Structure 1
Amino acid sequence: MEGGSVKHADGPPRECGTGRAGALPQERHEQLDDIDPAWCPAWPIDWQRCFHLTRQHLQAGGALPMTAGDIVHQGEDLGRWVRAQQLGLDKLTGAQQWLCEHILGIEPAAEDEKPAPRRSQADKWALNLAAATQYYQREGHLRVPRKHIERVVDEDQKERELRLGAWIGNQRSRAAALSPERIEQLAAIGMRWT
């Protein structure tokens, strides 16, 4: 059999990932299915190992580990793996999602359980520039004491405390590396470079 999927009687089609160059004979597929019907050569080995160990743990009567460190079996932190599957279920293949949900009982994490996305450098720059602009509008200058903390409201309407004095000092010391656009933005609000 060449690339494609294999339909199992007890589950979804499986993306076997064996293209022409890596095609496995049907006999070998059947032998591997006898060992573990959930195997797939296209999936990472560590994912399959953790899936298999979690399934064994459940079959032995254990509860689904939900927190890092709950169950460590054969060196694999099953709680951490389960949590990662909950948070990234939408990034798995359809077959992996089906296995996680129907065989292991893993449900996707609720939106309020997901960690906040990391801020990009551009987002951090914009927030610090907004803090500098706020300071300039209030004080009329950008001679910010090194230890000054400026409170601003971010795009999520959360109040944040920014180390504006340190940030301004860093921009001065890195002036040669700043883009002309950033230099212009700071100059527009009274930045002194020396």
Structure 2
Amino acid sequence: MPLCVGGDRYIGALRTTRSPSPPRAGADSRRHTAELEELGIIWDTADAAFAENLAAARAYFEAHGTLAAPRHGVALGKPVGQWLTNVRRPGGLGKDPVRARRRAEALAAIDEDWNPGARGWTVDWQRHYAYLAQLLDEGARLSAVVPGVTRHGEDIGRWLATQRREFDQLGVKAVRARRATAKAAAPTPSGRGAAAFQTGIQALAQYQEREGSGLPGRGHVELLPDGMEHRTGVWIVNQKQRRGRLTPDQLAQLAELGVDWAR
């Protein structure tokens, strides 16, 4: 749970600290601020509220595989669909550009397509596209996705028929093109994404070394040697959804650990 400094929530020994605001500017102070934020410290109630809604957004993604939630979407008891609608609006992430960039990065870390409008299409289109991609990833044939085939209550078959009828298969072409482009691009992992992938590999290998073989369930959390809790089950599901963006080396690492879809 994030700690709120300057708000009305204080935890443990921090109740006795005097930290109403981040340290003043300066190289050392910026470093200290970053270190404190890594511990989950939030400097004001606005950031605390954002963190709580971000946690709800993460829970929604884990359940749906996308942040293209309808406005009525709810997770952890919070109206995450309406919140995402609000933060996508101009200025919705706050007036401070540094804070806004940090918040956008936090959302992109959950789902890089959290703001479909920036890519030129609607939230509704993105949600149906994501569900169609999930069906195909699970082995469904495109010809079998007909009206009446649903996912999370959305009629994906009817949506697909609309794409064919009104846009000369534009929706289908977009799905195929995006999946083909992702595979052809063969991205090179770098930075935070690469480190997060290796942490997942470490957690999965540790699980198998202890359990003998197999893959953990979706809800499994693996405790790493440094004390970090890793949501290994959810991580595997997320890698499958992002399979087209994984490098051959990453797929090989997953396949070596018994992940069938990576072969």
Settle same-fold status: TM greater than 0.5: no
Q: TM-score, with normalisation over the residues of structure 1?
A: 0.40
| Larger Cα-atom Rg | 1
Q: TM-score, with normalisation over the residues of structure 2?
A: 0.30
By percentage of residues, which structure has more strand? 1
